Amino acid sequence: MPKANPRHPDFPIPGGPELRAKGWRQEALLRLLENVLSVGEDPDNLIVYAALGKAARNWPAHRAIVKALIEMDEDQTLIIQSGKPVGLLKTHAKAPLVIMANCNIVGQWAKAEVFYELQRKGLICWGGLTAGAWQYIGSQGVIQGTYEIFMRIAERRFGGDLSGRFVLTAGLGGMGGAQPLAGRMAGAAILCIDIDPERAKTRKQVGYLQEIAPDLDAALAMIDAAVKDKRALSVGLVGNAAEIYPEIARRGIVPDVVTDQTSAHDLVYGYVPKGMSIDQVKSLRDDGQGQLMAASRASIVEHVTAMLDFQRQGAEVFDNGNLIRTQAREGGVANAFDIPIFTEAYLRPLFARAIGPFRWMALSGEESDIARIDDLLLDMFPDNRIVTNWIRLAREHIPFEGLPARIAWLGHGERTALARRVNQLVASGELRGPVAFSRDHLDAGAMAHPNIMTERMKDGSDAIADWPLLDAMLLCSSMADLVVVHSGGGGYAGYMTSCGVTVVADGTPDADERLDHALTNDTSLGVIRYADAGYDESFEEIAAKGIGHVKV
């Protein structure tokens, strides 16, 4: 039976042994669709995160998707175009159940204003990364990546941890909401700014944020006390980062680490310019888009200028993947890209080995299933320091949102081995129900984004989008249950293409075959992508694990 959802009462959390669909594969995808809304930011409008990332195009489309998933046979494939189902076709039992293409606009037309016009006409919607692919698991979905970034900074500059260090950031939405808990887990005193009091309140309610300060003076006093005591603390402050960052700089305070995860990618539906309320912004979204975009970009100029000031004074400053540098440069900040992107600065050696954010969701709704898989991870990978450290921290600190789920940075071979062992546990009845395996779209072979994932690739292949397209075709050939190709919407229009995948472990031999082929081939392509760009780590991985790389 579904469970009550205190955050969104009209969107219960799925779970239980009863099936509405004709099989667990279809039921699994239905529950994942329900889950992204149960943990979403604005489910009444089908928005999951990032201002515009939607689970379906509109409510009629959503209802049609649900109906199709319930009624479809295992030898059919549901085709979804930008959040709207358009076909249910006879394929075969080893074909994907769902294939999607969301928000892919022809190159010369892939601009924010074209996207907004198409959206107004009801012809398109942006799936974000994991929102429209029904793979979002709440803020936990990015928290390990955020934590690993903080820990790489700690290792490079601060002796291995962030105790006694001040981290300044902004954005407490579905992505940014992971920051306060990740910072605290890394030992820091972290101040997180957001213009929306409801977001701050939500992050505190779900356990990601400890305190909400009444004003900047109180917030800085709380941070200062924690720094002096070397005490981990997360503090939220309601306000506009474009005003608060420059004010902190004006006071001569230099944080140790500075970043930002506001919705700077979207100047209309995301970022809120300084001097405007949220209600004022909403009133301009239909008829005042030009005014709103100009005001947002002007605020981002001040926002990023303050970040550059902190950098000049010795702070570790990085872009967290929200296009804020791009917007600032277009607004006239010529040196905005002096701020590095997190992927190149901290995580690229991991991605070159196809180590990235793998995730799984307990479709039973039972937390005990995740606990059992945690034990399995610790048993299977005792020498993997990243995994063992993370699982112990996650058990202590990470509250579940929606379906119980976990994320861990696993690489080639590790993902497949874990998933197949879990499938055995489902088959033996040790787990209360099937488990869905997925990953972030920000993965080795799955994303082309020259200002985030593929910035400054060694061979200059930053903008080549062949890889996520090849990944999607390969995953269809490898019998995955759901395969999706996304491109950017809103301010991300024209900047990215990504591929997503979900495979269901339902305890059957067929699931074992799907997991083996899909997960192994997915990471194989990731390693090959980085080998093609010339990364030594990838060649080491190919040699050590016998990946079928064709050298030219």
CATH number of the domain that residue 163 is part of: 3.40.50.10730
Residues 73 and 216 in one domain: no
Q: What's the average model confidence in pLDDT over 121-137?
A: 96
Query: Where in the sequence is the domain holding 302, given as residue range(s)?
Result: 140-340
194 annotated among ligand-binding-site residues: yes
What's the rounded Cα separation, in Å, for the pair 480 and 437? 10
User: Is 272 marked as a binding-site residue?
Assistant: yes
Angle subtended at Cα 489 by Cα 483 and Cα 493, rounded to the nearest 5 degrees: 110
Q: Is 322 annotated as a binding residue?
A: no
* Residue 217 marked in a binding site: no
Predicted structure pTM score: 0.94
323 in the same domain as 369: no
- Residue range 311-316: mean pLDDT, rounded: 98
Q: Which residues pair with 358 in a beta bridge?
A: 408, 439
Is 196 in the same domain as 336? yes
- Torsion angle of alpha carbons 321, 322, 325, 330, nearest 10°? 140
Per residue in 342-401, pLDDT tens? 999 999 999 999 999 999 999 999 999 999 999 999 999 999 999 999 999 999 999 999
Q: Give 41's strand partners.
A: none
Is residue 109 over pLDDT 90? yes
Packing angle between helix 509-532 and helix 536-545, nearest 10 degrees? 140
Residue 33 shares a structural domain with residue 150? no
Mean pLDDT of the chain: 96
Could you give the number of structural domains in the chain?
2
What's the CA gap between 340 and 196, in Å, rounded?
Answer: 27
Q: Is 271 annotated as a binding residue?
A: yes
Flag whether 225 is marked binding.
no
Query: Is residue 498 in a domain?
Result: yes
Annotated binding residue at 261?
Answer: yes
Residues 244 and 295 in one domain: yes
On whether residue 135 sits in a domain, the answer given is no
For residues 154 and 303, state if they share a domain. yes
Residue 393 lies in a domain: yes
* Same domain (yes/no): 334, 358: no
Residues 61 and 125 sit within 8 Å (Cβ to Cβ): no
Q: Tell me: is residue 371 an annotated ligand-binding position.
A: no
Task: Answer whether residue 427 is part of any domain.
Answer: yes
Burial of 314 (0-12, 13-18, 19+ CB in 10 A): exposed
How far, in Å, CA of 168 to CA of 313, rounded?
A: 14
User: From CA 194, how far away is CA 152, in angstroms rounded?
Assistant: 25
Tell me if 491 is assigned to some domain. yes
Model pLDDT, residue 475: 98
- pLDDT, one tens digit per residue, over 472-529 is 999 999 999 999 999 999 889 999 999 999 999 999 999 999 999 999 999 999 999 9
Residues 122 and 150 in one domain: no
Is 534 annotated to bind ligand? no
Cα angle, residue 496 at apex, residues 493 and 497 outer, rounded to 5°? 115
Query: Is residue 50 in some structural domain?
Result: no
**193 and 106 within one domain:** no
303 labelled ligand-binding: no
74 and 209 housed in the same domain: no
Q: Is 352 annotated as a binding residue?
A: no
> pLDDT category, 50, cuts 50, 70, 90?
confident
> 29: how many CB neighbours lie within 10 A of its CB?
24
